[in-house]
């Protein structure tokens, strides 16, 4: 396994969809780019239901073909069970050129995107964690110290002209250096989720492959079918509602009732 170079024009920190997409864009434009990803893919990640606008990006980075061939569940739209109302949303009836999207297993999806970035010419290194950034005299990041996991402590430093921090929730720049990450009260929620096999939704008006979103007095639920037969069901609620074990044990009963799938 090769080690990261000692310098690059652009360093991307993190190889999730944001990092991999940025790497593909840059590499396709002939810009030197190194991407360092802490994990070795495929790795589990939450966040699986995509919107049709993503297809536009896949086209732009040339990844559409590989993603279409991957066998992900096509998502025609959504079905909403919100308060007293029930209605379906068909992406084909909205504005825009794309009439569907995908429900993706993120381990596979992220892996495909990252491999695609490498195929476009980005130098992708997995299992390499950025452990610190070096700032120049003006406070601008100019180099990163990295450690390769499980490799007898292989470590090094890479200098860069530009940094893209795509480290997701870790938010390396925001949390450790800029210290400007703010948590909006509205988004201080807690989600619980699980994967089910053999779940079916026979609700009239439901189009196979769609996401189902339902409201509850203290939160909401969403349910996503995958192409491999599994269904992902989740419930999100305010942080005050979830401090006890009872929340977890009771939640899936309520999900199964509200999200219209039979488990
Ligand atoms: C409960 C829940 C449900 C969600 N559902 C959906 C959904 O249905 N649809 C949707 O579109 N979005 C959903 N999201 C949001 C989605 O998960 C995120 O928007 C998405 O993962 C962000 O991608 P990213 O590339 O920015 O970050 P990530 O995918 O988190 O990637 C960041 C990467 O950086 C790496 N990294 C972190 N620190 C370092 C370091 N120091 N050195 C090297 N690498 C590092 C990590 O290993 C990781 O691979 C959901 C989120 C939650 C919490």
Place of tokens 């964690």: 129
DSSP per residue, 11-66:
EEE--SHHHHHHHHHHHHTT--EEEEESSPSS---S--B--THHHHHHHHHT-HHH
Last residue of a domain, one of 124, 153, 178: 178
DSSP per residue, 151-168:
STT-EEEEEEEEEEE--G
**Phi and psi of 17, rounded to 5°?**
-55, -40
> Does residue 246 carry a pLDDT above 70?
no
- Domain assignment present for 84: no
Regarding whether 30 and 113 lie in a shared domain, the answer is yes
DSSP SS3 for 82: strand
Regarding whether 190 and 251 lie in a shared domain, the answer is yes
Domain containing 30 — which CATH number? 3.50.50.60
pTM above 0.85, yes or no: yes
- Domain assignment present for 163: yes
* Ligand 1 binding pocket mutation candidate from 12, 13, 14, 183 (most atoms within 8 A of CB): 14
**pLDDT single digits (tens) 136-179:** 999 999 999 999 988 677 999 999 999 999 999 999 999 999 99
Query: What is the average pLDDT across 102-118?
Result: 98
Query: What is the average pLDDT across 89-116?
Result: 95
Look at the chain and report how many structural domains it folds into. 2
**pLDDT single digits (tens) 38-73:** 999 999 999 999 999 999 999 999 999 999 999 999
Answer yes or no: are the C-beta atoms of 40 and 127 closer than 8 Å.
Answer: yes
**Ligand 1 pocket at CB < 6 A:** 13-19, 36-39, 45-50, 129-130, 166-170, 172, 191
Regarding whether 163 and 218 lie in a shared domain, the answer is no
DSSP SS3 for 77: strand
Last residue of a domain, one of 178, 196, 212: 178
> Does residue 193 carry a pLDDT above 50?
yes
When the pLDDT of each residue in the chain is averaged and rounded to a whole number, the result is 90
Regarding whether 118 and 39 lie in a shared domain, the answer is yes
Domain boundaries, position 21: 7-48+105-178
């Amino acid at each position: 396994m090769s080690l990261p170079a000692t310098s690059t024009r652009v360093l991307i920190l993190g190889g999730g969809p944001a990092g991999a997409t940025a790497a593909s864009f840059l590499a396709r434009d002939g810009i030197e780019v190194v991407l360092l990803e802490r994990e070795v893919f495929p790795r589990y990640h939450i966040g699986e239901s995509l919107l049709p606008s993503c297809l536009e990006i896949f086209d732009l980075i040339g990844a559409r073909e590989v993603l279409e061939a991957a066998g992900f569940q096509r998502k025609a739209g959504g079905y909403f069970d919100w308060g007293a109302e029930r209605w379906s949303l068909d992406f084909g009836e909205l504005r825009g050129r794309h009439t569907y999207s995908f429900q993706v297993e993120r381990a596979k999806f992220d892996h495909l995107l990252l491999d695609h970035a490498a195929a476009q010419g980005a130098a992708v290194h997995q299992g390499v964690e950025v452990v610190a950034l070096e700032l120049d005299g003006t406070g601008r990041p100019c180099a990163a110290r990295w450690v390769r996991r499980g490799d007898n402590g292989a470590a090094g430093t890479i200098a860069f002209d530009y940094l893209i921090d795509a480290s997701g929730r870790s938010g390396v720049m925001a949390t450790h250096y800029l210290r400007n990450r703010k948590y909006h009260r509205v988004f201080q929620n807690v989600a619980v989720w699980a994967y089910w096999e053999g779940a079916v939704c026979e609700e009239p008006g439901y189009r196979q492959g769609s996401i189902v979103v339902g409201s509850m007095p203290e939160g909401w639920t969403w349910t996503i079918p995958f192409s491999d037969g599994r269904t992902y069901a989740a419930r999100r609620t305010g942080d005050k509602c979830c401090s006890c074990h009872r929340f977890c044990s009771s939640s899936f009963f309520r999900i199964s009732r509200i999200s219209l799938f039979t488990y």
